[in-house]
Chain A
């Protein structure tokens, strides 16, 4: 199956700093990628749709100025959590759609 690689798998950052998470489709081109967030014991919640060469589409309640998404190529989308706070600590997962959704390994973000 198609492979989606996400990096880093874990990151700890200080409150107020920014963190960038990368999502790459390794063996196919993805014009659209998706970013999800998952809090403990909860399901995946879609944050935004990342579109290659255009602005991301954010779900209701997601701050676009806080969660910056860049999809500069057909194989790479990045999510930057700006001015991170402890409440942003979560599991962030990207996916790319080919014939089905393929998920990255996820990034565990801890803001201290």
Chain B
């Protein structure tokens, strides 16, 4: 596809379970970002990849959250021992080179509900 693709679009899980959210960026985009958006809030930065490496993971809230991008394309956000407070829409974005003035292209998000 031409845009950023995120799967699943909706995920309902129980407290304590493990969850993986997948992001397929625009082909050729080297920079990839994960954000979390709670109801009524703006997107909150989680982590940024340049190629395969995490260039900035300062937004990850705790060690239950982890993200990988092993081949510099698809990324997976992993959440262990989910809590009700993790419920949110998780957004992925990519940009061509990751510079400070570059446009971020966002996917439609993965809505996570933890019961």
Same complex origin of A and B: no
B-contacting residues of A (Cβ < 8 Å)? none
A-contacting residues of B (Cβ < 8 Å)? none
